[in-house]
Amino acid sequence: MKLHSERLAAPFFRRSLVAAAVMTLCAAPAFAVSPFVVKDIRVEGIQRIEAGTVFSYLPVRVGETFDDTKSITTIKALYNLGFFKDVRLEEDNGVLVVIVEERPAISTVDFTGTKNFEKDALIKSLKEIGIGETKTFDKSSVDRAEQELKRQYLSQGLYGVKITTTVTPIERNRVTVMFNVDEGEMARIRAINIVGNTKFTDKELRQQLQLNTKGWFTWYTKADQYSKTKLTGDIETIKSYYLNRGYLEANVESTQVAITPDKKDIYLTINITEGEQYRVKAVKLEGETFGREEELRSLILLRPGNIYSGDLLTASNKLISDRLGTFGYAFANVNANPEIDRDKREVTFTFMIDPGKRAYVRRMNIAGNTTTRDEVIRREFRQFEGSWYDGNKIKLSRDRVDRLGYFKDVTIDTPEAQGTSDQVDVNVTVTEKPTGNFMIGGAYSQAERFTFNASIQQANFAGSGTTVGFEINTSSYSRTIALSQVDPYFTADGISQSFELYTRTTRPPILNTGTFKVRQHGGRLNYGVPFSENDTVFFGLGLERTEIETDVNSPLRYQAYVRSVNGGGSGIGSARTNSFPLTAQWARDSRDSAVTPSYGRFQRANLEVDLFGDTKYYRAVYEQQWYKPLTRSITLALRGEADYGRGLRGSDFPIFKNFYAGGIGSVRGYESSSLGVVDARNDALGGASRVIGNVELQMPFTSGPDKSLRWFGFIDGGQVFQEGQRWRASELRFSSGLGLSWISPVGPLKLSYALPLNNKPGDRLERFQFQMGTGF
């Protein structure tokens, strides 16, 4: 029996949250409830919500007396859950019946018209404020979601954005939520005004800003699109610009952002207080120096008498902290306190050194290696658990892991171990990259049309750190089948072992008109012995059988070689030789990364000698790569290579061992392998020696997380020379151009467009070239 049947003046009907609030605020309630003892409680109308959830929030229990006060608190408690849009309370013979109507659940959240944001990122951000699949639908949450979307668009300079939300009911008490976005036009920066600057011109300061007015490249850089984040960064950049030039008290006092009524144009005003320029009067050291005061003082880059520089001050603090870190003081604190003499415009800095406690490494943790085994990474560590913290060893460990070439990114952080004051954990986080590469290369020219080659190789096989290669090269002028393996830790001491079995058939480059064929079958075994952290020496032995076939159209140099091997004849036919090349190589690698190096050096010197086979020769190669960061985003990359070969004991240098130049990897802008002497048919023959030089300025293509996507400007030079021919600078060929490089999911990609600078008649040009695979 429902309660309202006996007392019409005191109905116990459906109550809304508004009604409950009114009853709470009034001195006398608008409705009264006849008190009764609750014999049982029954919940009706629930679909997704568990009955136990409702019971746990009811302020009344069986056996208690139900009255006005408890009716109000019950309704408020259930409404506050946020799960129900209607709540009714009824009494049925002493049974309290709680009748609820659930709010609908959100089935899907979708967007239309979003161009500047990824849908997945928007869905994730809205889920944090209560709008997402399976969440309970609430109109107030949708309103907050609209405001959050607008805030995100406004931060990107899209002030004309309009957002409308469509909520569509579907079966089983669910709804779909669709945000319809009209992004409008991007607000562009029309003018940037700088006020208060007298020491530097507006032009000098604007050149430091990321934000800018419309220019030739703003369609790509988006520099004319206002962003609050960019403005904050530009404010710090201006401060740094002044601080690095001695203006110790310079500051950006305020900024004003004005937008036109049509929300299309933005005017920025930056107000600057410059102050005076200061010089460094003196530098002092105070605190605990462990008797190394002179050593630590030498790390201070600020010099008395010089103009003050904020970057040099920051770098000095870091150098001292890092040096203390090599002795285990991971939490060393170095602060430079200035004493300013405004009359003389001088400043004295006192470096206060607080080394803290010596820290020890508790654990070294590895994360992110979904394929690579822990031991492959851990064996590159030079910092060990249980020993004191050494900043240099931790950095070396990071670089060695990165030089493996298995990861897109390697980061290390050293948080303080919880519950201790003198221990840290070293957390190594890696991002795996595909190590099974299908590599292709090619180029296009008017004379050549299209050339193509390909190969397959699996590095880091099964995460073991071992490289297993089954190379199949289907190039029209070089066919290869090769099986190889490289085990960098053949022994626990780091001695490596590599072997290769191969069969190769080489035809003349597609640019040649002459024909010949070189078949080589053989194998080689190499061992690498590490002599230091960066130096390795390799020793190897090989066995190779070579067969050369010529015909009447073959280059005269090849016919002459066949004739010399056969002891005479026409030079048309075939010649077979056996060789036993011995190799010795030294390599030093101090780069910070094998994938995208930004600093460091790579060197290698290789000597190959055949003393016991049919071909007596030696072949020497020296290569050096050097990387230096010029700014935070620009890296200078230099590469040089000098190769030299010569026959021994009266033998000519084997023509099939010749060096070639031209194309990506040597001198871009000239057809691959086209430089050097040509025969009577204008066919490139390569040479017994070669010199190559490359200069690149590398810059990130975007500011995104993929650091491997870079564009670069370059200057190349090089040439090949015949055996006994002197190297002449006048014979070198040069080119310059622009290019793009990227570690793509299928392997390293390089594109270049080059202009030859001193080409001569007969040179074969190829301005656009590309390569997928390894290469400088």
Q: Mind listing the pLDDT tens digit for each residue in 177-204?
A: 899 988 877 778 889 999 999 999 988 9
Top-confidence residue, 470 or 644: 644
pLDDT given for residue 7 in this prediction: 30
What is the average pLDDT value for the chain, to the nearest integer? 84
pLDDT given for residue 437 in this prediction: 63
pLDDT given for residue 709 in this prediction: 81
CA atoms within 13 A on the CB side of 45: 16
Q: Residue 346: name the closest of 269, 279, 400, 253 by CA.
A: 279
Q: Does pLDDT of 746 surpass 90?
A: no
Average pLDDT value for residue range 630-636: 85
Average pLDDT value for residue range 604-608: 96
Q: Does pLDDT of 370 surpass 80?
A: yes
Residue 353 φ/ψ region, left for φ over 0, alpha for ψ in the -120 to 50 degree band, beta for the rest: beta
Average pLDDT value for residue range 266-286: 93
Band of the pLDDT at 703, cuts 50, 70, 90? low
Q: Does pLDDT of 659 surpass 80?
A: yes
Average pLDDT value for residue range 419-437: 84
pLDDT tens by residue, 393-409: 998 899 889 888 888 88
Q: Does pLDDT of 748 surpass 80?
A: no
Band of the pLDDT at 5, cuts 50, 70, 90? very low
Q: Does pLDDT of 774 surpass 80?
A: no
Q: Is 219 helix (H, G, I), strand (E, B) or coil?
A: helix
Cα 428 from Cα 435, distance rounded (Å): 20
CA atoms within 13 A on the CB side of 484: 24
Share of the chain above pLDDT 70, in %: 88
Q: Does pLDDT of 697 surpass 90?
A: yes
pLDDT given for residue 405 in this prediction: 81
Band of the pLDDT at 244, cuts 50, 70, 90? very high
Cα 411 from Cα 428, distance rounded (Å): 6
Highest mean pLDDT among 260-269, 279-288, 378-387 belongs to 279-288
pLDDT given for residue 12 in this prediction: 38
End-to-end, the C-alpha distance of the chain in Å comes to 88
Average pLDDT value for residue range 63-80: 86
Cα 121 from Cα 127, distance rounded (Å): 10
Rounded to 5 degrees, what angle do the CA atoms 538, 541, 544 make? 135
Tokens describing residue 408: 């897109």
Highest mean pLDDT among 128-132, 306-310, 370-374 belongs to 306-310
pLDDT tens by residue, 135-151: 888 788 888 888 888 88
Long-range contacts of 500-503 (CB under 8 A, 24+ apart): 500/469, 500/524, 502/471
pLDDT given for residue 477 in this prediction: 64
Q: Is 106 helix (H, G, I), strand (E, B) or coil?
A: strand
CA atoms within 13 A on the CB side of 238: 31
pLDDT given for residue 452 in this prediction: 53
pLDDT given for residue 770 in this prediction: 82
pLDDT given for residue 30 in this prediction: 42
Average pLDDT value for residue range 117-142: 80
pLDDT given for residue 33 in this prediction: 67
Amino acid at position 615, single letter: T
pLDDT given for residue 116 in this prediction: 78
pLDDT given for residue 28 in this prediction: 38
Top-confidence residue, 436 or 506: 506
Q: Does pLDDT of 128 surpass 80?
A: no
pLDDT tens by residue, 481-538: 888 888 888 888 889 999 999 998 887 655 555 678 889 999 999 999 998 888 999 9
Share of the chain above pLDDT 90, in %: 33
Amino acid at position 269, single letter: T
Average pLDDT value for residue range 98-126: 84
Whether 508 and 516 have beta carbons less than 8 Å apart is answered as: yes
Q: What is the pTM of this model?
A: 0.58
Band of the pLDDT at 736, cuts 50, 70, 90? very high
Domains by residue range for the chain, with CATH: 3-102 (3.10.20.310), 105-182 (3.10.20.310), 188-273 (3.10.20.310), 279-354 (3.10.20.310), 360-432 (3.10.20.310), 436-772 (2.40.160.50)
Top-confidence residue, 77 or 31: 77
